[in-house]
Amino acid sequence: MKVVVRAPSNIAFIKYWGKKNEKLRIPANSSISMNLSDAYTETSVEFKKILSDDLVIIDGKKIDGKEKERIGRHLNLIRKMARINFFAEVLSKNNFPKGAGIASSASGFAALTLAGVKAAGLNLSEKELSVLARLGSGSACRSIPDGFVEWKKGSKSSDSYAYSLKSPEYWDIRDIIVVVGEKSKKVGSTEGHKEATSSPFYKARISEMDKKIADIKLALKNKDFTKFGRIVEEEAINMHTVMMTSKPPLFYWLPKTLEIMQSITTWREAGLETYFTIDAGPNIHVICRSKDVRKVKTKLEKIQGVKKIIINRVSKGARIVK
Amino acid sequence: MKVVVRAPSNIAFIKYWGKKNEKLRIPANSSISMNLSDAYTETSVEFKKILSDDLVIIDGKKIDGKEKERIGRHLNLIRKMARINFFAEVLSKNNFPKGAGIASSASGFAALTLAGVKAAGLNLSEKELSVLARLGSGSACRSIPDGFVEWKKGSKSSDSYAYSLKSPEYWDIRDIIVVVGEKSKKVGSTEGHKEATSSPFYKARISEMDKKIADIKLALKNKDFTKFGRIVEEEAINMHTVMMTSKPPLFYWLPKTLEIMQSITTWREAGLETYFTIDAGPNIHVICRSKDVRKVKTKLEKIQGVKKIIINRVSKGARIVK
């Protein structure tokens, strides 16, 4: 049986950086995100008796080496649960550039998880799917449930999962991805996570996390955009400064990233209320209210060096397409 | 009596950010710097019976308001020590752009201190001069002694002063200032210092300072350029990330700043061993060995947007010119 799944990427408002358990991808702190309507992966999985190895094609390119191994290990988890031993044909397409700070591993592993599980004939709960997706790529667990999501750090594998805080319809805020670099990252986030604890600021960061999570959940509950945005921006800077002070330092920002961050601050001072966040890559995510989307887009289009603008609504999580 | 003094600006390798005593400018940590041969202030001071107020002219412009008050308060300290009550004529010239991250307050208050003290007929020790300069602007105390300097934080005003660790001739390293912005800072460092403790990372920063000071003094003693440079660069990033995580956030970097930081990393990976540091402003200080100056300069000149390049040797401290 071939199953096709579409899974959204997600943008974290409270970030995931550093793990309590490396192998099981149990994070040092809980995180909060929204799923993205216009940055997604579509993946089909079919287990086939005829195959002598997993066949993985992403964006039309046959995948080998470490990337394929990681996917193979994830398929093994599914094969083990379903007690099947066929190899799989995995066809996957991203509608956004890979490895540039839009979490392709999040949408990718969420889609692979749901498609693989269904193709293997398993019936898992949303929570079980989220746990399984997490084992493939931490932030993938947040792309399983709908809308605004909390990934509870948990204390063991079975209770470290994401669930929906609010549906996509709850609050119409937008995430405008501003692509300024399409290069694959020098240091991927899996490697980056290992370095997190080498920052002298890491402990102080982690010690504030419970409060930040509580604060942003309250802002979300109250639809308090100003409070929400301030927390989001402060948190993005906090994570990136932990990265910059790691040993060796990790710099994900490009000069253009900093330019746009500073533009957003200037726009805000002039009355256009937007905030930024940035994942482990150079691209900016501009968070704004739906009423301001057009204005923000016009401003962004005028900035030289902006390669692509992707406007996202809040989206459902991973779902079967056919 | 009119006295003319030339005082160097200095670049801190281990930075001063945050105070233990606001009014007395006693710093939270000791710092290490080198005096700069080609970024200096020349100031003449003359106490004149005829004047009905202090007259301060900096770079040809009569100074009023807060800046003049600050200088007036500093002159008051000198008048009180010398028991004179004449106003002063202060003529001052910087050979570099003001308020752009080259410490004009450091060279300015060091020059004012020595010129004022001499013009008032006082005879102070280097330590006393350094203490007095510190009361005008913290980092000015480091522009009094020669060469490589340590500002010992001390515990009270009289023991918070700078002294020479090594003479200018000890080690021929260079500081190349790359001016990328000449705009006066939005937030001056006096205001910035007050914000330091609002960063969640400030405590962790301060707790590491004694070790950093010991490490860099050892690298200086051994003339271990690699170790020295690594500490310098790490420390600059550390201070700026504390600034960025202050409330409100302080961003001194421009996109061009980040571009040059990343160029330096690339050059280093290709074998040209240079390191950067950055003060509370957008300009980059490239630290290199004397043998590499020409190569670095050529590379810097090719970068669009570089407004000025100032090559500094290690300099003597404040001295009387006539």
Give the pLDDT confidence of B145-174 residue by residue, as tens digits: 999 999 999 999 999 999 999 999 999 999
DSSP conformational letter for B304: T
Chain-chain contact of A238 with B245 (C-beta, under 8 angstroms) = yes
Chain-chain contact of A256 with B255 (C-beta, under 8 angstroms) = yes
Which residues neighbour A295 within 8 Å (Cβ) at sequence distance 6 or greater? Answer: A272
Cα B113 to the center of its chain, rounded Å: 15
Chain-chain contact of A259 with B255 (C-beta, under 8 angstroms) = yes
A153 touches chain B (CB under 8 A): no
Across chain B, what does the average pLDDT equal? 95
Which residues neighbour B59 within 8 Å (Cβ) at sequence distance 6 or greater? Answer: B92, B93, B94, B98
Select the residue from A180, A239, A240, A241 to test the B interface by mutation, using most B Cβ atoms within 10 A. Answer: A241
Which residues neighbour B29 within 8 Å (Cβ) at sequence distance 6 or greater? Answer: B14, B16, B18, B153, B206, B209, B210, B213
Nearest to A161 by CA among A184, A142, A182: A142
**A contact residues 244-273, partner B, Cβ 8 Å cutoff:** 244-245, 247, 249, 251, 253-256, 258-259, 261-262
| Res B192: pLDDT | 82
User: Please, are residues A27 and A165 in contact by the beta-carbon 8 Å criterion?
Assistant: no
Percent of chain B surpassing pLDDT 70:
96
pLDDT band at B191 (very low <50, low <70, confident <90, very high): confident
With contacts defined as CB-CB under 8 Å, which chain B residues touch A251? 258, 261-262
With contacts defined as CB-CB under 8 Å, which chain A residues touch B238? 200, 245
Query: pTM for the whole thing?
Result: 0.94
| Whole-number Å distance between alpha carbons of A161 and A26 | 9
With contacts defined as CB-CB under 8 Å, which chain A residues touch B205? 200-201
Structure tokens at A29: 């702190």
ipTM: 0.92
Structure tokens at B222: 């051994």
With contacts defined as CB-CB under 8 Å, which chain A residues touch B245? 234, 237-238, 241
Chain-chain contact of A258 with B253 (C-beta, under 8 angstroms) = yes
B80 touches chain A (CB under 8 A): no
pLDDT tens digits for range B92-110: 999 987 655 576 899 999 9
| Res B279: pLDDT | 92
Domains and CATH numbers, chain B: 3-169 (3.30.230.10), 174-312 (3.30.70.890)
| Res A286: pLDDT | 98
Which residues neighbour B271 within 8 Å (Cβ) at sequence distance 6 or greater? Answer: none
Structure tokens at A94: 């991203």
| Res B63: pLDDT | 95
Across chain A, what does the average pLDDT equal? 95
β-pairing verdict for B148-152 and B161-166: antiparallel
β-pairing verdict for A161-166 and B26-27: unpaired
A69 touches chain B (CB under 8 A): no
pLDDT band at B184 (very low <50, low <70, confident <90, very high): low
